[in-house]
Amino acid sequence: MYEQEKIRKKKLIKIKLLGINPYPSKIYKTNYNIKKILINKKKIIKNNINLSINGRILSIRNMSKSSFIDIKDYTDNKIQLFYNIKNINKKLINKEYYILLFKKYLDIGDIIWINGKLFLTKVKEYTILINKIKLLSKCIYPIPNIKIKKNKIYKKFKNKEKRYRMRYIDLLLNKKVKKNFLIRSLIIKYLRNFLNKLNLIEVDTPILQNIPGGANAKPFITYHNKFKKYLYLRISNELYLKRLIVGGFKGVYEFSRNFRNESIDKNHNPEFTILEFYISYKNYIWMMKLIEKLLKYICKKTFNKYKIKINNNIIDFSKKIKKIKLFNIIKKYTNLNINENTSLKELIKKSKKLKINIKENENTKEKIIDNIFNKYCKKKIKKPLFIIDYPKYMSPLAKSKIKNKKLTERFELYINGKEIANAYTELNDPYDQFKRFKKQNKKFIDKDFIKSLKIGMPPTVGIGIGIDRLIALFTNNNNIQEIILFPQMK
* Rounded Cα distance, 214 and 149, in Å: 53
Measured CA to CA, the distance from residue 79 to residue 275 in angstroms comes to 40
Is pLDDT at 94 greater than 70 in this prediction?
Answer: no
Q: Are 262 and 218 in contact (CB under 8 A)?
A: yes
Q: What is the pLDDT of residue 439?
A: 86
- Are 93 and 124 in contact, with CB atoms under 8 Å apart? no
Quote the CA–CA distance of 187 and 192 in Å, as a whole number.
9
pLDDT for 153:
58
- Render pLDDT for 271-299 as a digit per residue (tens, 0 to 9): 999 999 999 999 999 999 999 999 999 99
Cβ atoms of 439 and 423 closer than 8 Å: no
Query: pLDDT class for 263, splitting at 50, 70, 90?
Result: confident
pTM of the full structure: 0.92
What are the pLDDT digits (tens) for 290-334?
A: 999 999 999 999 999 999 999 889 999 999 999 999 999 999 999
Q: Distance between CA 168 and CA 461 in Å, rounded?
A: 40
Where are the CATH 2.40.50.140 domain residues in the chain? Answer: 2-155
Residue 111 has pLDDT above 60, yes or no: yes
Tell me what pLDDT residue 102 has.
65
Asked if pLDDT for residue 155 goes beyond 80, the answer is no
What CATH number is given for 176-321+384-483 in this structure? 3.30.930.10
The domain made up of 2-155 is a member of CATH 2.40.50.140: yes
Please say whether the dihedral angle defined by the alpha carbons of residues 419, 420, 425 and 427, taken in this order, is positive or negative. Answer: positive
Contact (Cβ atoms closer than 8 angstroms) between residue 308 and residue 187:
no
Report the half-sphere exposure of 77 (CA within 13 A, side-chain side): 13
For residue 288, give Cα distances in angstroms to 268, 284, 302, 413.
Answer: 25, 6, 21, 9
Question: How confident is residue 17, by pLDDT bands cut at 50, 70 and 90?
Answer: confident
Residue 406 predicted with pLDDT over 80 = yes
d(CA 463, CA 256): 13
What are the DSSP calls for 118-134, one per residue?
EEE-TTS-EEEEEEEEE
For residue 76, count other CB atoms closer than 10 A to its CB.
17
59 in Cβ contact with 108 (< 8 Å): yes
Q: Which residues contact 114 (CB under 8 A, 6 or more apart)?
A: 52, 53, 54, 71, 81, 128, 130, 131, 132, 133, 134
Q: What are phi and psi of 69, to 5 degrees?
A: -130, 135
pLDDT band at 151, cuts 50/70/90? low
Residue 33 contacts residue 74 (beta carbons within 8 Å): yes
d(CA 439, CA 462): 22
**Residue-level pLDDT at 92:** 53
pLDDT in tens, 178-218: 999 999 999 999 999 999 999 999 999 999 999 998 888 89
pLDDT of residue 66: 82
Q: Where in the chain is the domain with CATH 3.30.930.10?
A: 176-321+384-483
Q: Which residues are within 8 A (CB) of 80 and not within 5 positions of it... i.e. 6 or more apart?
A: 68, 69, 70, 121, 125, 126, 127, 128
Count of alpha carbons within 13 Å of 303, Cβ hemisphere only? 19
pLDDT for 18:
81
Give the mean model confidence (pLDDT) for residues 447-464. Answer: 97
What is the distance, to the nearest Å, from the Cα of residue 283 to the centroid of all Cα atoms in its chain? 29
Residue 450's pLDDT band (boundaries 50, 70, 90)?
Answer: very high
